């Protein structure tokens, strides 16, 4: 959570340190009603994020202005080494200034993008202002004579026409996406009754509302929480909400409880913080007032931000680019070792070279992770019910070496390239992995919070020594602690640090067998 958490008194530490809630541990086993399952299935597909759409528009509009300038330059002025630098600098500066002015005047807000005709005059004035400022700068710097006036005027007109045409196209696209559900923020209301009804009515009254309310969940019985709230069905209790969010791609949970009901709010957060979603507390009917920066808004409806979805929007794009680049790099660099290992495995024992195992991935989804086969085929354990121990007779001679050196993990570069894994993240565990005959989520309260981000080939826990056999509760608790630290402090620099420390730390093979 961001620094503003201190303004309303909630933090992940407060939530995590509450006594374990049985609903958290059993949530994975909760069964949805047929109606809840049908509704969740309707929202199984991802949507276009408004943040990503407006961000992409900034890039495209910058490119429109740049391409218009260079096109007119090549047609009218012609390619000239002497003039190219000055014209290029002018074109890029004007395009940058235009996008900055559009940003500062909130012209990338969804309401403005959806209604370009309503803001037609303002948009033209902003782009014209950027060109006017550049013209004025040229006059005062006494360099205007270096530029063709015909080029500048033609570029200005071409930019305006292309810019407004693009805005009209995007307006139609966004309206269409809003109608067919391809661009919306999906929200679930937590808590029923009159407060939830008032909140829903207020959200629905907001102009250009992109919130799609998917249903209501509440632990209370029908006497205190009716089955229908403002036309939306109550789909189940909080344990069932967690299962609902595993199926449906939900963006936001809105808790419709007064902040004064601190004990109940904390109890709900104890169950919900494991989900990879934004969690907001409605301030709609709260009389307590915080400083403005403590709030976010849906239209004019105030919300208190309790948790933010980790590695979201442009952060996820940056991380995916990071994964693709370094996965390809790793495949190229380690290709001789990959080929040699595959040959050695094939020569030593019969069976496939690659061992595929089902593990928990992002948002608890089941994914298939690849490794070099290190056991005899007839003794392989895809469920990981029996963890590999020291001098395990199931492990082949080649397998013992590649497990100790972590060469068996190299095929996961391909998992990362395909997108089932990230290069850096919490290590995925087999779905039946356990210690003392207890599944990991039965040992560690909040264990599934590890799955709020995509799992990784390597991770913060591994380079801090928490790898190999898990034969005690403390080991899985420590792994989870380090994984949660990574999630809450993620940055590309952190990923880079972990990636480059991995080969060094893997030299310690005490726990790898």
pLDDT at 45: 83
Splitting the chain (513 residues) into consecutive groups of 10 residues, what average pLDDT does each group show?
Answer: 43 50 48 86 84 90 94 83 80 93 90 84 91 86 78 92 94 87 87 85 82 88 79 88 88 83 81 88 65 68 85 88 94 93 90 87 87 83 66 82 87 93 88 65 74 90 76 78 90 93 73 53
SS (H, E, C) 133-155: HHHHHHHHCCCHHHCCHHHHHHH
d(CA 195, CA 203): 12
pLDDT at 387: 66
CA distances from residue 180 to 43, 176, 299, 479 in whole angstroms, order as listed: 12, 6, 21, 42
pLDDT at 331: 94
Please provide the DSSP assignment of 30-52 as one string: ----HHHHHHHHHT-S----HHH
For residue 135, the Cα-to-chain-centroid distance in whole angstroms is: 42
pLDDT at 29: 57
d(CA 74, CA 144): 19
Contacts 24+ apart (CB under 8 A), 366-371: 366/431, 367/415, 367/420, 367/421, 367/428, 367/455, 368/420, 369/412, 369/415, 369/420, 369/421, 369/428, 370/411, 370/412, 370/414, 370/415, 371/408, 371/409, 371/411, 371/412
d(CA 85, CA 107): 30
pLDDT at 196: 86
pLDDT at 3: 43
The CATH H-level (homologous superfamily) assignment of domain 3-47+184-307 is NAD(P)-binding Rossmann-like Domain (3.40.50.720)
The domain limits of the chain are: 3-47+184-307, 50-180, 314-505
> pTM here?
0.77
């Amino acid at each position: 959570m961001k620094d503003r958490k201190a303004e309303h008194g909630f933090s992940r530490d407060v939530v995590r340190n509450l006594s374990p809630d049985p609903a958290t541990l059993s949530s994975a086993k909760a069964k949805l009603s047929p109606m809840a399952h049908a509704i969740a299935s309707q929202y199984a597909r991802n949507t276009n994020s408004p943040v990503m759409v407006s961000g992409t528009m900034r890039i495209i509009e910058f490119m429109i202005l740049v391409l218009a300038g260079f096109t007119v330059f090549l047609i009218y002025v012609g390619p000239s080494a002497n003039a190219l630098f000055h014209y290029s600098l002018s074109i890029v500066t004007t395009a940058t200034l235009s996008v900055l002015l559009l940003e500062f005047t909130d012209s990338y807000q969804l309401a403005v993008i959806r209604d370009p005709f309503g803001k037609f005059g303002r948009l033209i004035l902003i782009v014209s202002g950027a060109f006017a400022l550049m013209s004025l700068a040229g006059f005062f710097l006494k360099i205007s004579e270096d530029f063709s006036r015909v080029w500048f005027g033609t570029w200005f007109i071409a930019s305006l026409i292309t810019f407004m045409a693009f805005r009209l196209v995007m307006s139609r696209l966004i309206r269409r996406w809003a109608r067919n559900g391809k661009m919306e923020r999906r929200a679930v209301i937590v808590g029923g009754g009159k407060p939830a009804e008032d909140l829903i009515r207020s959200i629905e009254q907001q102009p250009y509302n992109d919130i799609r309310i998917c249903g209501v969940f509440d632990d209370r019985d029908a006497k205190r929480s009716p089955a229908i709230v403002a036309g939306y069905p109550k789909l189940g209790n909080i344990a069932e909400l967690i299962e609902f969010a595993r199926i449906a791609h939900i963006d936001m949970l809105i808790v419709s409880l007064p902040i004064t009901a601190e004990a109940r709010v904390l109890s709900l957060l104890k169950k919900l913080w494991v989900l990879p979603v934004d969690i907001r507390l409605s301030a709609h009917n709260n009389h307590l007032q915080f400083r403005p920066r403590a709030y976010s808004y849906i239209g004019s409806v105030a919300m208190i931000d309790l948790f933010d979805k980790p590695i979201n929007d442009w952060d996820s794009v940056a991380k995916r680019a990071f994964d693709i680049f370094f996965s390809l790099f790793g495949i190229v660099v380690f290709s001789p070792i990959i080929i040699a290992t595959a040959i050695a495995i094939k020569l030593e024992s019969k069976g496939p070279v690659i061992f595929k195992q089902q593990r928990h991935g992002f948002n608890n989804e089941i994914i298939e992770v690849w490794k070099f086969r290190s056991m005899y085929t007839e003794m392989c354990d895809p469920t990981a019910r029996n963890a590999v121990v020291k001098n395990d007779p199931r492990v082949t001679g080649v397998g013992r070496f590649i497990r100790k050196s972590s060469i068996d993990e190299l095929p996961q570069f391909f998992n990362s390239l395909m997108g089932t894994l990230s290069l850096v993240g919490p290590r995925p565990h087999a779905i039946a992995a356990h210690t003392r005959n207890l599944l990991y989520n039965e040992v560690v309260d909040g264990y599934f919070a590890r799955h709020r981000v995509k799992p990784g080939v390597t991770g913060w826990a591994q380079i801090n020594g928490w790898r190999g056999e898990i034969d005690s509760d403390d080991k899985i608790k420590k792994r989870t602690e380090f994984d949660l630290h990574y999630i809450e402090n993620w940055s590309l620099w952190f990923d880079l640090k972990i990636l480059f420390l991995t080969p060094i730390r893997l030299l310690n093979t005490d726990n790898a067998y």
